[in-house]
Amino acid sequence: MERSLEQYEKERRGGALSAARILLTSAVTAPRLGGVGEVVINLVEDPSELENLALTMEDLSKENRAWKFFMRDAAMLRSADVVLIMSSMRCLHDPADINCGYCGLVTCENFRVQEKLPTEPGVGFTGPLCSLRICNIAYALGGAASLAEQIGIDYTLMFSAGLAARRIGLTPRRSGFSLAFVLSVSEKSPFRDMPKKAGEINERTMQDRIISRLWPQFRSIYS
């Protein structure tokens, strides 16, 4: 009996979700500063939540002129299957207490009394943040990226999606910093060779069937 395209799509997405869970375990077991776990990883795979995340990224692109690339990231996110949101729970309020100065302050006590940035449009993360605590996010991302390359999963990292996830409550309330690890299982990675104006000209904006069929060639020519 012929297998349907619908079944293929279901199995493809199932593979992406299974891979995401394996990558999550690799991120969890990566090293941590002081050996203390403080990185929380949330898996987002529901299409409606991914679309809400993309819409929020588009809204954020208007808040700060340096965030215009959020539009391009939103276009890429719509072609993704799963997102892992990695958040640091201690970088905002609980410094490492080694007076390293990475955050720009002389001591960790200065960090504790320093006034935080206001929560308002155009402000990403309300630092200062403990830079060594944020390194835990880098370790987790490194663990996931290393395994993704071994098992052949396309991925990219997004500051934009991490910020958007915070805005819509997809991260724990006390977290101070988040990054997104975005995954895709498809014949062509949606994260590579993107046109410069991918936020304006993308598959979503091309509703006409003929143009939609020509989209892969269009993207190849104008990348």
Residues 46 and 101 occupy one common structural domain: yes
Number of domains in the chain: 2
Residue 218's pLDDT is what? 62
Domain limits at 208?
195-223
Residues 23 and 49 in one domain: yes
Instruction: Assess whether 117 and 174 both reside in one domain.
Output: yes
Share of the chain above pLDDT 70, in %: 88
Give the model's pLDDT for residue 109. 95
Give the tens place of pLDDT for each residue, 156-172.
Answer: 999 999 999 999 999 99
> pTM of the prediction?
0.86
Give yes or no: residues 68 and 145 share one domain: yes
Does position 179 have pLDDT exceeding 70, yes or no?
yes
CATH number at residue 67: 3.40.109.10
pLDDT digits (tens, 9 = 90+) for 78-131: 999 999 999 999 999 999 999 999 999 999 999 999 999 998 999 999 999 999
Q: What is the pLDDT of residue 53?
A: 97
What tokens were used for 150? 């071994």
CA-CA-CA-CA dihedral for 159, 27, 92, 124, to nearest 10: 10
Per-residue confidence band for 216, with pLDDT thresholds at 50, 70 and 90: low
Residue 223: predicted pLDDT: 58
pLDDT tens figures, 119-137: 899 999 999 999 999 999 9
110, 149: one domain: yes
Do 33 and 107 lie in one domain? The reply is: yes
